[in-house]
A and B are shown apart, each in its own frame.
Chain A
Amino acid sequence: MENRPLEYDYTVTKMFMFTTIALGIVGMLIGVILAFQLAYPGLNLMLGEGLAEYTNFSRLRPLHTDAVIFGFTLSGIFATWYYVGQRVLKVSMAESKLLMFLGKLHFWLYIITVVAVVISLFAGVTTSKEYAEFEWPIDIAIVVVWVLFGMSIFGLIGIRREKSLYISVWYYIATFLGIAMLYLFNNMEIPTIMASAPDGSHVGGNWWHSISMYAGTNDALVQWWYGHNAVAFGFTVPIVAMIYYFLPKESGQAIYSYKLSLLSFWGLMFLYLWAGGHHLLYSTVPDWMQTMGSIFSVILILPSWGSAINMLLTMKGEWQQVAASPLIKFMILASTFYMFSTLEGPIQAIKSVNAIAHFTDWIVGHVHDGVLGWVGFMIMAALFHMAPRVFKREIYSKSLMTSQFWIQTLGVVLYFTSMWIAGITQGMMWRAHDEFGNLAYSFIDTVTVLHPYYTIRGVGGLLYLVGFFMFAYNIYKTMSARPVEESELQSASPMGA
């Protein structure tokens, strides 16, 4: 080797950090628009009748979900993998030209796929399966991107110096394997140009269009096995991977119990895959499957809290750090919200509770206390921790970070409290009836009652978005902040006033 000392190479990390922020802005901006459209339907026409096709709620909704899941969250997962992976395996990307090449290829193919997704969804091209709206040519591109991600994971593991795999690496591997399996099975589809009608005539249609290989109840089952586990392996497993690395590193504290982290890992892996049935309670899927989904969901609280409590206890004796550092605040609040949504989820999975909750805004509330409080906070914390290390500069402003924390926390609280009230009100009104079984309310009665809560949710979402802009600005300014020495980067991140 040359004389230059070996260093970790963060080129690919930086690229994915950029898309995390850019796609986060896009996705959350659309989320806020959606929220206000629900409160003020006139906004569906915000750019006039002519463009209503592109600005209406139904066209924008999948753009929101896919931008935040496959844009913001996935980029965050990739960015942290290319950072954490090198460090805990103690091997640099600079040591392998091949891995470096694959990493960059991974990024650029990802960008191409994102562009294809955005264009096709705006154009209204969709398979109509939630979180799996992409047509088959895009599905193929996604599979290639995913395979490249896998090659990077196993490539780095292959040339590692550290013999054992740190707990986060296990979670990243599980993310890779889990999504690979789910995505392939749920997207088994047949292009309509290849299909023929029962009478033998040609079906035709657009070349990109396809239909699912499964029909009816089977399709629903596979779809929610996928949908639920997309949450598991997209919003939970990789985020746990992040917190197991970034919280100990930032606080300088060893994980409270490494053994508990292993036990929770296997518990989570075993239980999650059976719980998808809770999305299909009281539907046409077999009763025993619904019951099984319910039971596994309730037990799921154990490994979930196992990880979350492990994280909170990691701060044992060091709680002054939570008060002192906004970065640690983000992570502690993230694990608290993780506990919160994994308590709420099992409750909603109980059949009698689900009878009220299903189809209502309470579910949307559950979704967003998970994604805003847990996923969003943890990904932003990870970027805050990585920024000084990849740019070798201190974080631009600590006070900006603290204000962002409080603004966004308020935003999340407004979001989920309003949705709880809205959801439970909705559920109770839908089922209310008089002594003869006539429904007490018509649909529009609920809409009228819910209006104020929709507005509050919109305001909460807007606060979160404002906070996200503060975050983006802070990271941007970090790139030209005061340069720091290697010695300042050991644990707590250096921050400017």
Chain B
Amino acid sequence: MDIAQLQAYGYFALTVFLVIGLYGYIYHLYSKRKNSDGVDYEEYSNMALHDDIDDTPVASISDDKKK
């Protein structure tokens, strides 16, 4: 196999990989409504909206340590 052929196969494989990666990520975002803490991605907006120092965190680090 000459170099041009190798490049062509490499190019094709990379393209397939990227397409799968992209759609896989979109699928992940939409199917997995909740992460392991039971938080919906959309709730993360509250990190900015409720950001006073005594507001309750969306998902707290200390909850994690308690487990």
Which residues on the B side are within 8 Å of A316 (C-beta)? none
B2 CB within 8 Å of chain A:
no
Interface hits, A149-192 → B, CB 8 Å: 160-164, 166-168
Contacting residue for B42 out of A90, A160, A258, CB 8 A: A258
A92 CB within 8 Å of chain B:
yes
Q: Return B26 CB to nearest CB of chain A, in Å.
A: 7
A254 CB within 8 Å of chain B:
yes
A129 CB within 8 Å of chain B:
no
Contacting residue for B53 out of A7, A166, A168, CB 8 A: A7
Q: Is the CB of B61 within 8 A of A254?
A: no
Q: Is the CB of A163 within 8 A of B42?
A: no
Q: How many angstroms from the CA of A92 to the CA of B54 in the assembled complex?
A: 11
Contacting residue for B41 out of A92, A161, A258, A266, CB 8 A: A258
Contacting residue for A164 out of B53, B54, B59, CB 8 A: B59
B12 CB within 8 Å of chain A:
no
Q: Is the CB of B60 within 8 A of A162?
A: yes
Q: Is the CB of A259 within 8 A of B30?
A: yes
Which residues on the A side are within 8 Å of B59 (C-beta)? 162-164
Q: How many angstroms from the CA of A254 to the CA of B49 in the assembled complex?
A: 7
Q: How many angstroms from the CA of A255 to the CA of B25 in the assembled complex?
A: 20
Q: Is the CB of A88 within 8 A of B49?
A: no
Q: Is the CB of A245 within 8 A of B41?
A: no
Q: Which residue of A lies closest to B61 (CB)?
A: A163
Q: Is the CB of B53 within 8 A of A92?
A: yes
Q: Which residue of B lies closest to A489 (CB)?
A: B52
B5 CB within 8 Å of chain A:
no
Contacting residue for A167 out of B25, B44, B54, CB 8 A: B44
Q: Return A448 CB to nearest CB of chain B, in Å.
A: 50
Which residues on the A side are within 8 Å of B49 (C-beta)? 248-249, 252, 254, 491
A482 CB within 8 Å of chain B:
no
A6 CB within 8 Å of chain B:
yes
Q: Is the CB of B53 within 8 A of A88?
A: no
A8 CB within 8 Å of chain B:
yes
Q: Which residue of A lies closest to B44 (CB)?
A: A258
B10 CB within 8 Å of chain A:
no
Q: How many residues of A contact B (CB 8 A)?
A: 31
Give the interface SS of chain B, mostly helix, strand, loop or mixed.
helix
A257 CB within 8 Å of chain B:
yes
Which residues on the B side are within 8 Å of A6 (C-beta)? 53-54
B29 CB within 8 Å of chain A:
yes
Which residues on the B side are within 8 Å of A431 (C-beta)? none
Q: How many angstroms from the CA of A259 to the CA of B60 in the assembled complex?
A: 21
Which residues on the A side are within 8 Å of B44 (C-beta)? 164, 166-167, 258
Contacting residue for A160 out of B29, B55, B61, CB 8 A: B61
Q: How many residues of B contact A (CB 8 A)?
A: 26
Which residues on the B side are within 8 Å of A252 (C-beta)? 49
Which residues on the A side are within 8 Å of B55 (C-beta)? 90
Which residues on the A side are within 8 Å of B45 (C-beta)? 248, 254-255, 258
Q: Return A489 CB to nearest CB of chain B, in Å.
A: 9
Q: Is the CB of B41 within 8 A of A162?
A: no
Q: How many angstroms from the CA of A323 to the CA of B59 in the assembled complex?
A: 35
Q: How many angstroms from the CA of A167 to the CA of B55 in the assembled complex?
A: 19
Interface hits, A75-128 → B, CB 8 Å: 87-88, 90-92
Which residues on the B side are within 8 Å of A164 (C-beta)? 39, 44, 47, 58-59
A46 CB within 8 Å of chain B:
no
B48 CB within 8 Å of chain A:
yes
Which residues on the A side are within 8 Å of B53 (C-beta)? 6-8, 90-92
Q: Is the CB of B61 within 8 A of A162?
A: yes
Interface hits, B24-67 → A, CB 8 Å: 25-26, 29-30, 37, 39, 41-42, 44-49, 51, 53-55, 57-64
Q: How many angstroms from the CA of A87 to the CA of B48 in the assembled complex?
A: 8
Q: Return B60 CB to nearest CB of chain A, in Å.
A: 6
The answer to whether A163 and B37 touch (CB under 8 A), given A90-B57, A245-B48, A266-B25, is yes
Which residues on the A side are within 8 Å of B29 (C-beta)? 259, 262-263
Which residues on the B side are within 8 Å of A249 (C-beta)? 48-49, 51
Q: Which residue of A lies closest to B55 (CB)?
A: A90
Which residues on the A side are within 8 Å of B42 (C-beta)? 254, 257-259
Q: Is the CB of A161 within 8 A of B47?
A: no
The answer to whether A161 and B48 touch (CB under 8 A), given A262-B29, A263-B29, is no
Q: Is the CB of A161 within 8 A of B51?
A: no
Q: Return A163 CB to nearest CB of chain B, in Å.
A: 4
Contacting residue for B60 out of A161, A168, A255, A266, CB 8 A: A161
Which residues on the B side are within 8 Å of A266 (C-beta)? 25
A243-255 CB mask vs B (1 if < 8 Å, else 0) is 0110011001011
Given A163-B58, A166-B47, 17 more A-B residue pairs with CB atoms under 8 Å apart are: A5-B54, A88-B51, A161-B57, A162-B61, A163-B60, A244-B48, A245-B48, A248-B45, A248-B49, A249-B48, A254-B45, A254-B49, A255-B45, A258-B42, A258-B45, A259-B29, A266-B25
Of the A-B pairs whose beta carbons lie under 8 Å apart in the complex, a sample of 17, sorted by A's number, is: A6-B54, A7-B53, A87-B48, A88-B47, A90-B53, A92-B53, A162-B47, A162-B60, A163-B59, A164-B44, A248-B45, A248-B48, A258-B41, A259-B42, A262-B29, A263-B29, A266-B25
